[in-house]
Structure 1
Amino acid sequence: MGKIVNSFRNFVTGRPMQLAMREWRIMGKWRGPLSAVAFGALLGVTGPFGSQTALGPAVRYPFWMVIALVGFGAAAAAGRVLSSTSPGSRTAIRIVAVAAASAVPMTFFVAWAIGVVRPGRSFSPVQLLALFPYVALVQLLIARVISPDDQMIVAAPVEQPAAAPEYPPEFVSKLPAALRRDILALEAEDHYVRVHTLHGSSLVLMRLADAAALIDPRLGLRVHRSWWVAKDGVRAVERTPGRAIARLVDDTAVPISRTYLSAARTVLTD
């Protein structure tokens, strides 16, 4: 018994099991009998439980293919039972549960199968308990193989922050280089727009309505038939008897008409 368990421990913790796990990750898309036969063939090559020396190839390969087929069946049955009793369980937890549940009958089956191919070999209750964790590790690998890919836990996609809004090039290119930043407001002057910035102002040949339509609405809004203000350029919205104004950071008072007052309050005071 000690030789069998030690041999299986070396299989589980050593290079053969690592190679097996790598193979099954690659073959993860295959399910059912084909996976069981392939897994049984791999067990036949590695020869756990001392079967490499105790059994000839003609017996060893069929032996492990039968073990693998029964293991896949036990895992599939356990998976169906657990799906009906705990449908909302996380996939990783469910795989471990399937492996543990299916390892119970598989421990007895493996002990029985060893007795068949090695007459006279038997397992006491204590030896069965020692055998269980190694069978459970194999069943864990089988449970992972038969687990549907669409149930595997996937890292949540990281949302990219929205790009900061910018003034359109066709608008800012009309301004002197020194005035292409820190825009506070636009003021209509006949067929021109006066662009107010922290660094001065400049006239642009463009209607206010056209300029406001070009600019990303996240940057500001129209507050008067003659004024558009930048959201970042407003220090406060003030009410006085009969009028409302947007107080810019340079202390300029921009009138807010009744038409735009509700929108201005929502956008400029949030």
Structure 2
Amino acid sequence: MKGFFDEVRANLRSPVLLAAWGFMTAMMALAGPFGSYEQIALPRRLIVWLGLTALAIVLATAVRVVVYSRWQLRDFWRGGTVTSALSVAILAPVLRHMAEVAGDAYLIVPPGLVEIAGFVFCLTMGFCAFRHALETVPPAAARAALPMAPADPALPRLADRLPEGLRAPVLRVSGRDHYVEVATAAGVASLLMRFSDALAELDGVDGLQVHRSHWVAARAVAGGGRDGAKMVLRLTDGGQVPVSRTHLAAVQARGWLDQT
């Protein structure tokens, strides 16, 4: 649970969310949905939507961490849709109750639950699309058209595919369906590519494939041992990866299971 809250806090510290909060607040206050444009003055609408958008962003971020990190639904259509649907289930009843309470004072006809649900779903999908667009690496053709920054000779080719802020020593690579999750010293990103192709672009980084879907760098290993019926490696970031029987001998030869 601590890891979940740490990840949520890390996401909420992103300047992207601060920009999204300001943009969404301004957009909602100026648009005045649900009849609030006629009934509530602009300064009060700003205050109301400042709080509502903050609540929506915190909730959507927490749900997104569960969907993207815990359930591994990292592509936009699956991850965004599930995140939006769960946000609707949690937030729509709360907003409906708030609309009923405020209806007599501010609104001629408070919006119905279906109307609010559609509004929350569209808003959350827009939020997920915004995040996905910023976190997704452009296609190869688009990258070729961009000015190329000098490559860091200490980093493998795989790092060139990552967003600029995440280009750091690679700690772990994991295969997830058609994606690979690349963890570096600066954070985690998902790339649309095959696991085998990602390993080919590590360019001799000291590490080892420990499972059919997991590769770890030597610098990322904190120790290892048995977790129930399976062998695992503990990583310096607090996570762990399984060790398959196929790769167990190679892991033992590196002495990683003997580390404490």
TM-score norm. by structure 1 comes to 0.41
TM-score norm. by structure 2 comes to 0.42
Structure number with higher relative contact order (C-alpha < 8 Å, ≥ 6 residues apart): 1
- Could you say which structure has the larger radius of gyration? 1
